[in-house]
């Protein structure tokens, strides 16, 4: 019923609303893709557009700005609208960016107000909730946890990158998979069905007894292939651990161990940010909404469920203050949250009604 | 008594011996330094020289050959000698190198025979033993284990590089140290005395409550500094784990855990290569000599002792077939072993007498 009303508002009275409502552009700028939405102050999303990577840290300033403008132009769809404000959610929002250049890029689109940059962590959280207190856990290529308080980031844990941490992330999983195969090949680790999958993926023939200078030839080839590519590309092997877990007639101990360690690390990241509010971290977890983002947590139930299990039996006492039903809210990205944020930052109260209008009208535009 | 005789032979009758004895050059070519020794068929070392990195894989072919020739020229010390053979021990000995270019480089020095390349693993083993069967474990910047059989490498485990393995190596230890500090800073891990040392080493001020966008400023600076340098440079933090362990009034749990995991991983690497000979890997360990090389194992007793402890309680049964006294032979590098190898490869029997002449005369030259 609600959906029908929203469709009506956004289609029939669109022209009128664009004149009388306040309009905003909300962007979610990732390393490889950017999403933009035109949203009004009642939470109605009127247009949606996507483009390539829009993060200056990974793409460079010029190409990133081009992507932001391109996605925004698509979201505007040629409709004339005065844009009161633009909000861009991105990783590394604390970097000192030349905001006036962003401003110059957006003025031709009708921007009359300011452009602001916010953390992608906040945007991910607000994609799942309109509350101003809660927790977010994201495990995509990287992994990071955050506590939100007063609609700001109060604490951040991990997100320390592929070399230092990002434990439980896609990169972390991919590296663990290849390390486990390396160890299985030379006998340091247990045999695993991952070996066949990884060698096949890399086009390496498996000859059990072929050695050169004492080294198994398959392992030598594995080493060569891995060091030919950039370290971060190891994340491509992450899906194999789920494939093995799901497809195996009997459980693969090595794959299960990797998934369990990922889940425990992610639970630890979440507990780290949940502490400091109450002495009992577990009780705090149950208080506010818990939002999960990133493909590792949202594209399959395995890790998300294992994280919830790990939270129930955390060090602060096995589930003492914890609700029996921890139900994380799964979100695909930060574009809905960016729309929530741009309204909040312009003093607009995003209540449950506005929030569900954002969710529903955005979903209709993306479908 | 033996030493006096050796000195007599090598000094008084040197000119005569250089004419009648067969002479060889043995080199140990590392990534950052190269060692060369002039050795005769009786095991007497007559000259010693060092130069910069001599490994073509890390230095490039031209500079590597220059270093090999420079160290050899110093070892020859202007003495006229026909060199029957040259042996260069280096990592990556299985690479296809343009041997004729090596040959061209050495002929002006008096080389009449061939030049051969052997694995640095074999050379490290033979620096500690003249037997043709046994085990070697090396933990320097990297970490690798090998079983030697019939004076060849029969099995090699790990040595898979910083991204895939090298577990228990200097790089691995350094990365664990910085990861532990990162986790301690944001509350994912326990507090540790390593934090103060790492932050001081990087010139980062420790302000417990200073945050930007929810992230502790000290952690943000740690992340920035680490990603400014090349990953392999993390090995510089390895010594801190021993400093904390040795200096602490009460034991640092985090540091102890890192050292224990390093030792367990190294023990696992050794057990992996010891298997395949006898079904009981532990019994095999006790059979041949066990040689330890690399700074992590030789520059302090902590890890070497922990590896021995871990071997005693390995999975194949707690010390069942294992001698109560596992006494690894510690060696500094592979130059003595390269001398052993060059003689063996030219059909010369390296018995205990020849071996101890190599050791004693080389030690005298290096002192």
Write out pLDDT tens, residues B307-331: 888 887 765 544 444 555 678 999 9
The span from the CA of B193 to the CA of B208, in Å, is 15
The residue-averaged pLDDT of B2-17 equals: 48
Task: Please report residues of B whose CB lies closer than 8 A to that of A183.
Answer: 158, 165
- Given B235, B250, B265, the domain boundary residue is B250
Residue A200: predicted pLDDT = 95
User: A57-71, A76-90, B95-109, B171-185: lowest mean pLDDT where?
Assistant: B95-109
CB A241 within 8 A of CB A194: yes
Q: Which of A305-319, B100-114, B193-207, B296-310 has the lowest mean pLDDT?
A: A305-319
Q: Cβ contacts (< 8 Å) between B231 and chain A: which residues?
A: 163, 231
Residue B323: per-residue pLDDT: 52
Pairing of strands A23-29, A33-40: antiparallel
Specify which residues B137 forms β-bridges with: B145, B292
How many folded domains does chain B comprise? 2
CB contact (8 A) between residue A119 and residue B213: yes
Please indicate whether residue B352 or residue A99 has the higher confidence score (pLDDT). B352
Residue B25 has pLDDT above 50, yes or no: yes
C-beta atoms of B183 and A163 within 8 A: no
* Segment among A135-149, A277-291, B283-297 with least mean pLDDT: A277-291
If asked whether residues A30 and A113 sit together in one domain, one would say yes
Q: Among B154, B158, B226, whose Cβ lies nearest the Cβ of A164? A: B226
d(C-alpha B179, C-alpha B5), whole Å? 55
Cβ distance of A272 and B188 shorter than 8 Å: yes
Cα gap B185→B205, rounded to integer Å: 13
Same domain, B31 and B114: yes
Residue % of chain A over a pLDDT of 90:
59
Crossing angle of the two packed helices A170-186 and A253-274, in degrees rounded to 10: 150
Q: Residue B350: inside a domain, yes or no? A: yes
Give the whole-number percent of chain B exceeding pLDDT 70.
Answer: 86
The per-residue pLDDT for range A187-208, each reduced to its tens digit, is 999 999 999 999 999 999 988 8
Are B10 and B119 part of one and the same domain?
yes
Pick from B233, B250, B267: which residue ends a domain?
Answer: B250
Assess whether pLDDT exceeds 80 at residue A17.
Answer: no
Judged by CB atoms closer than 8 Å, whether chains meet at A223 and B119 is answered as no
Q: State pLDDT tens for residues B123-179.
A: 999 999 999 999 999 998 889 999 999 999 999 999 998 999 999 999 999 999 999
Segment A24-28 shows an average pLDDT of 97
- DSSP single-letter state for residue B278: B
Cβ proximity of B87 and B75 under 8 Å:
no
- A252 CA to chain B: closest CA distance, Å? 20
Reported ipTM: the value is 0.84
Predicted confidence (pLDDT) at residue A285 exceeds the cutoff of 90: no
- Estimate to the nearest angstrom the gap between the alpha carbon of B56 and the chain centroid: 18
Considering the domain boundaries, does residue A130 fall inside one?
no
Task: pLDDT band for B14, please (50, 70, 90 cuts).
Answer: low
The Cβ-side half-sphere exposure at A217, using a 13 Å CA radius, reads 9
For residue B75, give every residue at least 6 positions away whose Cβ sits within 8 Å of its Cβ, in sequence order, or none.
B25, B36, B37, B38, B47, B48, B49
Note whether B25 and B125 are same-domain residues: yes
Residue A292: pLDDT over 50: yes
Shared domain check, A55 and A14:
yes
- In degrees and rounded to multiples of 5, residue B119 shows phi and psi of -70, 140
What the block records as the tokens of B100 is: 């004729």
> Among the ranges A343-357, B77-91, B227-241, B316-330, which has the highest mean pLDDT value?
A343-357
State the average pLDDT over residues B10-20. 52
Per the structure block, which two tokens stand in for B62?
């031209």
Question: Nearest CB to B213: which of A94, A158, A265?
Answer: A94
Q: Looking at chain A, which residue has its C-alpha nearest residue B276?
A: A187
Distinct helix (H) and strand (E) counts, chain A: 16, 12
List the single residue in B215, B268, B269 with the smallest CB-CB distance to A156: B215
**Token digits of residue B209:** 């409550």
Question: Would you say B91 and B31 are in contact if contact means Cβ atoms under 8 Å apart?
Answer: yes
**Which tops the pLDDT comparison, B91 or B19?**
B91
Q: Bigger pLDDT: B301 or A74? A: A74
The predicted model gives B239-255 an average pLDDT of 85
**Is residue A10 assigned to a domain?**
yes
- Please check whether residues A8 and A94 belong to one and the same domain: yes
Residue span of the structural domain in which A151 resides: 143-165+260-331
Assigned domain for A136 exists: no
Element (H, E) at B164: helix B161-164
As a whole number, mean pLDDT of residues B16-45 equals 87
Structural domain contains residue A128? no
For residues B88 and B203, membership in a common domain is answered with no
CATH number of the domain that residue B97 is part of: 3.30.420.40
Identify the residue whose tokens are 């010594």. Answer: B239
The CA-based diameter of chain B, rounded to the nearest angstrom, is 78
> How confident is the model over A256-270, as a mean pLDDT?
93
CA distances from B252 to A72, A231, B194 (A): 53, 32, 9
Cβ pairs bridging A and B (under 8 Å): 130
Residues of chain B contacting A220 with CB distance shorter than 8 Å: 94
B19 pLDDT band, cuts 50/70/90, is low
Residue partners of A362: CB distance under 8 A and separation at least 6: A37, A45, A48, A335, A336, A339
Residues A293, A140 contacting (CB under 8 angstroms)? yes
Best of B161, B183, B237 to substitute, by most chain A Cβ atoms within 10 angstroms, is B183
Question: What does pLDDT average to over chain B?
Answer: 86
Q: How far apart are CA B68 and CA B108, in angstroms?
A: 13
Same domain, A81 and A230: no
If residue A145 lies in a helix (H) or strand (E), which one and from where to where? Answer: strand A143-149
Which pLDDT score, from 0 to 100, does residue B94 have? Answer: 63
With a cut of 60, say whether residue B306 has pLDDT above it: yes
The domain boundary residue, chosen from A252, A277, A310: A252
Residue in chain A nearest B174 by alpha carbon = A164
User: What pLDDT shows up at residue A245?
Assistant: 82
Looking at the domain assignment, is residue B262 inside a domain? no
The alpha-carbon gap from A265 to the nearest alpha carbon of chain B, in Å, equals 8
Low-confidence winner among A123-137, A229-243, B286-300 (lowest mean pLDDT): B286-300
Q: Which of A88-92, A135-139, B82-86, B114-118 has the lowest mean pLDDT?
A: A88-92
**B215: in domain:** yes
B78 vs chain A: nearest CA distance in angstroms?
36
B249: exposed, middle or buried (Cβ count in 10 Å: 0-12, 13-18, 19+)? exposed
Residues A326 and A337 in one domain: no
Q: Is the pLDDT of residue B7 over 50?
A: no
CA distance B27 to B36: 4
pLDDT at B92 over 90: no
Distance from CA of B145 to the nearest CA of A (A): 10
SS3 category, B118: strand
| CA quadruple A207, A213, A214, A219: dihedral sign | negative
Q: Among B288, B276, B277, which residue's Cα sits nearest to residue B326? A: B288
Closest CA to A162 of A151, A182, A176: A176
Q: Give B93's pLDDT tier (boundaries 50, 70, 90).
A: low
DSSP conformation letters of A250-298: S--HHHHHHHHHHHHHHHHHHHHHHBTTBS-HHHHHHHS-EEEESHHHH
Q: How close does chain A come to B74, measured CA to CA in Å?
A: 31
What is the predicted pLDDT for the residue at A45? 97
Segment A235-248, tens digit of pLDDT: 999 999 999 887 76
Residue A122 has pLDDT above 90, yes or no: yes
Write down the pLDDT at residue B311. Answer: 80
Among the partner-chain residues B159, B178, B211, the one whose CB lies closest to the CB of A164 is B178
A244 and A326 housed in the same domain? no
If asked whether residues B125 and B201 sit together in one domain, one would say: no
Judge if B13 and B122 occupy the same domain.
yes
Residue A126 lies in a domain: no
What average pLDDT does chain A have? 86
Q: Which of A147, A161, A234 is nearest residue B227 as measured by Cβ atoms?
A: A161
User: Which of A171-180, A271-280, B27-36 is predicted with the least confidence, judged by mean pLDDT?
Assistant: A271-280
Confidence at B15, pLDDT banded by 50, 70, 90: low
Predicted local confidence at residue A196, as pLDDT? 94
Q: What is the predicted pLDDT for the residue at B283?
A: 43
Q: Find the range with the poorest average confidence among A294-303, B46-55, B149-158.
A: A294-303
Residue B1 has a pLDDT of 40
Q: B165–A182: do the CB atoms touch at under 8 Å?
A: yes
Task: Look at the pTM and tell me if it is higher than 0.90.
Answer: no
């Amino acid at each position: 019923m609600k959906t029908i009303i929203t469709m009506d508002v956004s289609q029939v009275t669109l022209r009128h609303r664009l004149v009388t409502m306040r309009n905003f552009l909300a962007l979610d700028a990732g390393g490889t893709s950017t999403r933009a939405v035109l949203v009004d102050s009642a939470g109605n999303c009127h247009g949606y557009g996507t483009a390539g990577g829009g993060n200056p840290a990974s793409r460079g300033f010029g190409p990133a700005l081009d992507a932001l403008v391109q996605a925004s132009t698509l979201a505007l769809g040629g409709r004339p609208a005065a844009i009161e404000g633009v909000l861009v959610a991105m990783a590394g929002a604390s970097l000192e960016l030349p905001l006036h250049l962003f401003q110059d890029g957006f003025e031709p689109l009708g921007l009359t107000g300011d452009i602001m940059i916010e953390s992608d962590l906040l945007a991910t959280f607000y994609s799942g909730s309109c509350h101003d207190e809660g927790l977010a856990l994201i495990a995509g290529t990287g992994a990071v946890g955050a506590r939100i308080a007063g609609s700001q980031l109060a604490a951040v844990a991990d997100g320390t990158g592929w070399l230092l941490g990002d434990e439980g992330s896609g990169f972390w999983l991919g590296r663990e998979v290849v390390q486990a195969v390396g160890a299985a090949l030379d006998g340091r680790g247990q045999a695993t069905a991952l070996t066949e999958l990884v060698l096949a993926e890399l086009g390496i023939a498996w000859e059990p007894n072929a050695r050169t200078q004492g080294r198994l030839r398959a392992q030598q080839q594995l080493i060569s292939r891995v060091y030919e590519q950039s370290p971060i590309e190891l994340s491509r092997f992450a899906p194999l651990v789920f494939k093995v877990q799901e497809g195996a007639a009997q459980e693969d101990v090595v794959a299960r161990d990797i998934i369990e360690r990922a889940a425990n690390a992610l639970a630890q990241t979440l507990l780290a940010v949940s502490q400091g509010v109450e002495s009992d971290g577990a009780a705090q977890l149950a208080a506010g909404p818990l939002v999960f983002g990133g493909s590792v947590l949202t594209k399959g139930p395995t890790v998300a469920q294992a994280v919830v299990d790990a939270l129930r039996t955390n060090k602060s006492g096995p589930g003492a203050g914890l609700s029996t039903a921890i139900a994380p809210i799964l979100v695909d990205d930060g574009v809905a949250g960016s729309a929530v944020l741009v309204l909040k930052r312009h003093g607009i109260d995003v209540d449950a009604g506005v929030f569900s209008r954002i969710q529903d009208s955005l979903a209709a535009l993306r479908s």
